Amino acid sequence: MLRVRQIATPSFALLSYIIIDSESGECFVIDPPADFNAHADIASLKIKAVINTHIHPDHTMGNHLFSGKVPILAHTDEGSLFQRIMNSSLAAVFTARIPPKISFTLIEGSDLRLGDIPVEVLHTPGHSPGSICLFWPGNLLSGDTIFIEGIGRTDIPGGSFREIRASIERLIALPGETKVWPGHSYGGRYSANLREIVPLLRQMIRSPDKNLLHNSKRVLKYFCIAPA
Ligand SMILES: [Zn+2]
């Protein structure tokens, strides 16, 4: 059985995760925050890999803590976006001076497992070209593709509303009792059953409403579109 430990970081309302197989003790660390050490003792964990749901700087701030110790994985389509970010002023703002070494090798259906339990990589582009979700029965770790009270922004470099709409349509088809673990607690919600948030998701992907995208009152946080 996989247990989910959620780590909330107040700045950026970031939600990071440790997914642990209670049988083998193996774990994945997802989108580690810069102060990961304040939440968990890296040396005591059997970390198989660090996984970035996408490579926006708020999701990679803690990567350097794991550099040279465990593989740091992201989707292959995030590679060029990462180079653009590292070459921009954003790198200095968000990321530690040491550029994290990320292996851009994940693809749809990559063979990830903790102990004997498979963890499925779903390629869900839209918020960024190589955004991924992780799925295992009963659980969806959704990165910045869907939140409990919104969806990921697409009016940023590498974003595509058309793509996120297709990605979300795919996620909506998962079992309604799937627990969604988002990449941010925008709106103050930390998780919910998929069934509960499907109506909002449908509403938000129905129209690429220019007002919705650009009306700053409706933009809850930098990387999120909140509902009207
Ligand atoms: Zn993001």
User: pLDDT tens digit string along 80-100?
Assistant: 888 887 777 666 665 555 566
> Can you give the length of the chain in residues?
228
Distance 61 CA to ligand 1 centre (A): 12
pLDDT of residue 78: 94
pLDDT of residue 81: 85
pLDDT of residue 228: 43
Domain ranges of the chain: 2-221
Distance 62 CA to ligand 1 centre (A): 15
Q: Is CATH 3.60.15.10 what the domain over 2-221 is classified as, yes or no?
A: yes
In degrees, rounded to 5, the angle at the alpha carbon of residue 127 between the alpha carbons of residues 14 and 69 is 55
pLDDT of residue 99: 62
Distance 76 CA to ligand 1 centre (A): 16
pLDDT of residue 219: 40
226 or 108: whose pLDDT is higher?
108
Distance 3 CA to ligand 1 centre (A): 24
Distance 82 CA to ligand 1 centre (A): 12
| Contacts of residue 44, Cβ cutoff 8 Å, sequence gap at least 6 | none
Distance 127 CA to ligand 1 centre (A): 7
pLDDT of residue 222: 45
Distance 23 CA to ligand 1 centre (A): 32
Task: Report d(CA 217, CA 183) in Å as an integer.
Answer: 21
Cα pseudo-dihedral 171, 173, 177, 180, rounded to 10 = 10
User: pLDDT tens digit string along 212-224?
Assistant: 443 333 444 444 5
Task: Report d(CA 45, CA 27) in Å as an integer.
Answer: 7
31 dihedral zone (left: phi>0; alpha: psi -120 to 50; beta): left
Task: Report d(CA 130, CA 145) in Å as an integer.
Answer: 11
Mean pLDDT of 11-16: 91
User: pLDDT tens digit string along 138-196?
Assistant: 999 999 999 998 899 998 889 999 999 999 999 999 999 999 999 999 888 999 999 99
Evaluate if residue 65 carries a pLDDT over 80. yes
What residues are paired with 140 via a beta bridge? 135, 180
Evaluate if residue 210 carries a pLDDT over 50. no
pLDDT of residue 88: 74
pLDDT of residue 57: 85
